[in-house]
Amino acid sequence: MAYEVPPLPYDYAALEPHIDEATMRLHHDKHHQAYVTNLNAAIEKHPELSGKSPEDLLQDLAAVPDDIRPAVRNNGGGHVNHTMFWQIMTPGGGGTPTGALAQAIDSAFGSFDAFKAQFNDAGVKRFGSGWTWLVKTSDGSLAVVSTANQDNPMSDGQFPIMGNDVWEHAYYLKYQNMRPKYLEAWWNTVNWAEINRRFEQAG
Ligand SMILES: [Fe+2]
């Protein structure tokens, strides 16, 4: 079965004023759709892969045939990254994490504010297009990392707990060249309940 873009779990305008409706429409309906369309086109060339989840593909890119590996890396990454992205934002989001995740962040980074500063800094310093992430590493610790393009940390054996899209398509209509302003505003959309669920899923 072909991969599909999941419906946005809230209205396109629901994240206003932090993320504008026009950006959400383009980002979800055009950009995410393009990754899915291109991923499906790649997998059609190798129907033996069609039963695999996009996460399975990204976790073992070496097992993907050479002729479609770059397409799967870029478009499978684009699909998985954006599917997470819509879910880790919510209308009326923001605030700070609670429970075990809050404790893990405090113990890894010193404080929530220190974590947030490190996460934003990684996003600001990502040259060109990419993502900034909070991951669980293979040794079980939390870390902030940044990836280029649509690379997902799971291709490096890390579990992505949360990530922010720092491609210009995520913010340029509203914030133009001011990526730091977008990164700061984005925290007002964060869905800590979903991120907590992902933290527990990371094990
Ligand atoms: Fe994006």
* pLDDT tens sequence across 109-138: 999 999 999 999 999 999 999 999 999 999
Residues 6+ apart with CB under 8 A from 144: 109, 115, 118, 119, 122, 132, 133, 134, 135
Query: How many A from CA of 175 to the centre of ligand 1?
Result: 15
| Interatomic CA distance for residues 167 and 146, integer angstroms | 12
Q: What's the rounded Cα separation, in Å, for the pair 198 and 40?
A: 26
Residue 182's CB is within 10 A of a number of other CB atoms, namely 23
pLDDT at 17 over 90: yes
**pTM value surpassing 0.85:** yes
Specify the pLDDT at position 149: 98
3 state DSSP class of 142: strand
What is the token pair recorded at 77?
């990454």
- In this prediction, residue 203 carries a pLDDT of 82
Q: Can you read off the two tokens belonging to residue 190?
A: 């964060």
167 CA distance to ligand 1 middle (Å): 6
- Cα 102 to ligand 1 centre (Å): 27
Q: Which two tokens stand for residue 153?
A: 């940390």
Dist. CA 159 → ligand 1 center (Å): 19
